[in-house]
Amino acid sequence: MTYYDSVAEAATWVRGHVAPTPEVAVVLGSGLGAFADRVEHAQPFAYAEIPHWPAAVVVGHAGRLVLGHVRGRDVAVLAGRGHFYEGHDLGTVTFAIRVLGLLGVKTVILTNAAGGVNTSLTRGALMLIDDHLNLLGSNPLIGPNNERFGPRFPDMSEVYSTHLRRLGDAAAAEAGVAVSHGVYAAVHGPSYETPAEIRYLRTIGADAVGMSTVPEAIVARHMGLDVLGISCITNMAAGVLPQPLDHAEVLETANRVAADFMRLLEGIIGRL
């Protein structure tokens, strides 16, 4: 079975379990999974139920697809994702986005927990992603191109939709939630970055750093989907503060700002 056939089979399975087709998809990062519980008329499915769908095994990722409604919109919410550092190839990491594209989803909101590189950011800040730096050393589009997914050389001059970022600003203002804007750098992981690496990232223009999102954004644009990215700054990057980093801090901070994060997401979806 080809990669395309596997994606198509998974899309057919999901389509057979939901009507109508979701318009919007939300991918939830580490510690941000509580938003899935806000979905109305929810139909949850463990990833293991869906043909070929990769597992999400990282702490803070529930590993389920939730179909339902948010603010009157038909949505697909992904509570968890696969990561490059788990040993997956990038085709597997972006499998879910391919399925969403074949389902007919038009808008994808990608969220993540990130380290703050820009020292003006603080723990718990929410950052709308304006652009990204792909420092993974690879690209999910490497290899033979399937035109049924998208063109060989897709344009990346506006990965994160200007229109959606403006909606994000408007939704944040209405909800009373502070947001900033910045550039997100994607790195391999799973080790956190060194202070020297953070100084390098700051020098080349990164405001936040994490281990996800960018491959998904590239594949979404390859398929013609509109993309919005939101980073929750769950910790300050190495060298910013005189303390070591750990995943428990990431989850604790994400939990602390969950209410603001969910209000922002609901406001954005309601404005689409």
Identify whether 17 is a catalytic site residue. Answer: no
Catalytic residue status for 113: yes
Active site residue 83: yes
71: alpha, beta or left, given left = phi > 0 and alpha = psi -120 to 50?
A: left
Q: DSSP string of the chain?
A: --HHHHHHHHHHHHHTT-SS--SEEEEE-TT-GGGGGG-EEEEEEEGGGSTTPPP--STT---EEEEEEETTEEEEEEE----GGGT--HHHHTHHHHHHHHHT--EEEEEEEEEE-STT--TT-EEEEEEEEE-SS--TT-SS--TTT--SS---TTSS-HHHHHHHHHHHHHHT--EEEEEEEE---SSPPPHHHHHHHHHTT-SEEESSSHHHHHHHHHTT-EEEEEEEEEEEPBTTBSS---HHHHHHHHHHTHHHHHHHHHHHHHH-
Residue of 8, 11, 211, 262 marked active site:
211
**Is 200 in the active site?**
no
Q: Considering the candidates 83, 114, 125, 197, report the single residue annotated as catalytic.
A: 83
* Catalytic option among 42, 88, 247, 266: 247
Residue 61 is a catalytic residue: yes
Catalytic residue, chosen from 212, 217, 236, 237, is: 212
User: Of the listed 8, 25, 76, 113, which one is catalytic?
Assistant: 113
Note whether 74 and 21 are within 8 A (CB): yes
User: 11, 127, 235, 236: which one is catalytic?
Assistant: 235
Q: Choosing from 34, 42, 69, 85, which is the catalytic residue?
A: 85
Active-site annotation holds for 157: no
- Catalytic member of 3, 42, 52, 86: 86
86 is an active site residue: yes
Catalytic hit among 47, 61, 180, 223? 61
Q: Tell me whether residue 76 is one of the annotated catalytic residues.
A: no
Structure tokens at 61: 């990722």
30 is an active site residue? yes
Query: Active site includes 212?
Result: yes
Catalytic residue set: 30, 61, 83, 85-86, 113, 211-212, 235, 247
